[in-house]
């Protein structure tokens, strides 16, 4: 089973922004006194730095057993269904991150930056 979940759209792409850090798929960007996390490919704003970027992504949930015949589902042992959740940029579709989780698990913020644009 594959399922899409829509993330929170915080609106727009960066205009007068300064990229201060690039962590592979996600950039830390200062714009108008605030710090955001955004897609390195298209510049889509994904979230404010203190909240992380995953809530601004599209989520693609893929059943573990559909990934590969060698990737067995833990359902028999754990009595719970797990998925591989991909976090995709809603602007360009680029895969940004992934985690193995239950469908009911909310995305956790793996990147949080507690700084203002002036601190950077």
**DSSP, res 49:** T
- The strand pairing partners of 102, in sequence order, are 82
pLDDT at position 111 is 66
Domain residues for the domain of 74 are 2-119
pLDDT at position 60 is 92
pLDDT at position 89 is 93
By CB atoms closer than 10 A (0-12, 13-18, 19+), residue 48 is middle
Spacing of C-alpha 14 from chain mean position: 17
The two three-digit tokens of residue 120, written as one number: 């950077």
53 contacts 37 by C-beta, under 8 angstroms = yes
Q: Which residues of the chain have pLDDT under 50?
A: 1-9, 16-22, 117, 120
Question: Average per-residue pLDDT in the chain?
Answer: 75
Residues 89-117 pLDDT 10s = 999 999 998 998 888 888 777 766 665 54
pLDDT at position 115 is 57
76 contacts 64 by C-beta, under 8 angstroms = no
The count of domains in the chain is: 1
90 contacts 36 by C-beta, under 8 angstroms = no
Tell me the three state secondary structure of residue 67.
coil
pLDDT at position 57 is 92
């Amino acid at each position: 089973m594959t399922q899409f979940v829509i993330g929170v759209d915080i609106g727009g792409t960066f205009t007068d922004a300064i990229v201060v850090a690039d962590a592979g798929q996600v950039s830390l960007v200062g714009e108008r006194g605030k710090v955001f996390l955004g897609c390195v490919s298209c510049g889509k704003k994904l979230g404010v730095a203190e909240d992380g970027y995953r809530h601004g992504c599209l989520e693609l949930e893929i059943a573990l057993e559909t990934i590969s015949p060698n990737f067995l589902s833990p359902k028999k042992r754990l009595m719970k269904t797990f998925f591989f959740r991909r976090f995709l940029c809603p602007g360009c579709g680029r895969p940004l991150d992934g985690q193995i989780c239950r469908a009911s698990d909310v995305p956790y913020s793996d990147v949080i930056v507690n700084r203002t644009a002036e601190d950077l």
